[in-house]
Amino acid sequence: MLIGFIAAVALVTRPLAGWWIDRANSTLPLVAGGLIFAACALGYWQARSVTTLLALRAVTGLAIAFYGTASQTLAANLSPAERRGEAMSLFALALTLSQGFGPPAGVALAARIGYPGLFLTCAVITLVGVAFSAGLHALRPDPTARRRGRVLNWKVLLPGLLLLTLNVAFGVNFALLAVHASRRGLVNPGLVFVAHALGVFAAQSVAGRLSDRLGRLAVIVPGLALAAVGLWVTALAAGAQLFAAGALSGLGLGAAQPLLYALAADLVPLEERGSAVGTIGIFHEIGIVVGAVGGGLLGRSVGLPQMYGIAGTVPASGAILALLATRRVRSRA
């Protein structure tokens, strides 16, 4: 429930955050998201009941919607079109590093200075980010452009659908890989996530520049295919072979995910970037939920190996869809 509340609120409010960004044309949503994060961190410190924790997690989902949508929009807007893939991959690389470093650092801090000190540290770090954000200035679109203030932007339907298929693979791994690896003979299944993270890091380091030279779908399609192969290898592998499966899944995720956001930015003008990022964020959250929840239900019914085999067909279908749409996407971008 603690995880689900964040995802549910972020799913609903990402499009509203995108609408706000396009209408206000400012970095205010970035600052607001950071302030909400800091307030929630201090709230966790003072929480004395499960109900309070759940309420704070729901508000944290709002912060993710504001800060995540605004920061991704800002990264897309600040990057020149010919280097947007590189910029979005570097942005994603920063997220990968922070998400990899944050949990073990948090556990270590809690053990050393206790949870009050941990939450206070989180609040201070977030406020430093707010201070940086407050000094940013949004790019101004063409003043003659019509400001529609869309909540949903269907121009990014294709990259959204592709992101959904990719994140089904991520959701399956996020929720079930540790259980599957432990049943397949790994004493420390967490090491598979290390291999996955290394794959993500390696792909994000080079995929963006490749997409700027070869085109977005020229890298997205192999990324989706790698994600599918990673799930299929996971279904068959045992023991140390699961490290290779985790690395393949990580390579696919790292190659395709940031470039799908770059593609969404390519397909819309500056004054619609917020709604584009907010809309594609819906598909992002849905894919994770479908993979985690649907994968768990299917795994209970047919077994985890069989579930991984079936789940691999989802990103594979995304790769086929991307191939079929290549010519149309190139003309629109």
- Euclidean distance between CA atoms 63 and 69, whole angstroms: 10
Q: What is the mean pLDDT of residues 182-192?
A: 83
Res. 190 pLDDT band, cuts 50 70 90:
confident
Residue 213 has what pLDDT?
93
The amino acid present at 124, given as its one-letter code, is V
Kindly tell me if the per-residue pLDDT of 38 is higher than 90.
yes
- For residue 111, how far is the Cα from the chain centroid? 29
Res. 138 pLDDT band, cuts 50 70 90:
low
The 10 Å Cβ neighbour count of residue 156 is: 26
Cβ-count burial of 144 within 10 angstroms (0-12 exposed, 13-18 middle, 19+ buried)? exposed
- State the chain's mean pLDDT as an integer: 88
Q: What percent of the chain has pLDDT over 70?
A: 94
Res. 134 pLDDT band, cuts 50 70 90:
confident
The amino acid present at 141, given as its one-letter code, is P
- Two tokens at 15? 């499009």
In a 3-state reduction of DSSP, which class is residue 234?
helix
Res. 100 pLDDT band, cuts 50 70 90:
confident
Range name among 139-143, 180-184, 241-245 with the lowest pLDDT average: 139-143
Closest CA to 204 of 250, 137, 157, 249: 250
Residue 217 has what pLDDT?
93
- CA 162 to each of CA 166, 261, 310: distance values in angstroms, whole numbers, following the listed order: 6, 11, 17
Kindly tell me if the per-residue pLDDT of 238 is higher than 80.
yes
Kindly tell me if the per-residue pLDDT of 4 is higher than 80.
no
- Cβ within 8 Å of residue 261, ≥6 positions away: 72, 76, 88, 92, 159, 163, 277, 280
pTM, two decimal places = 0.85
Kindly tell me if the per-residue pLDDT of 248 is higher than 70.
yes
The 10 Å Cβ neighbour count of residue 12 is: 14
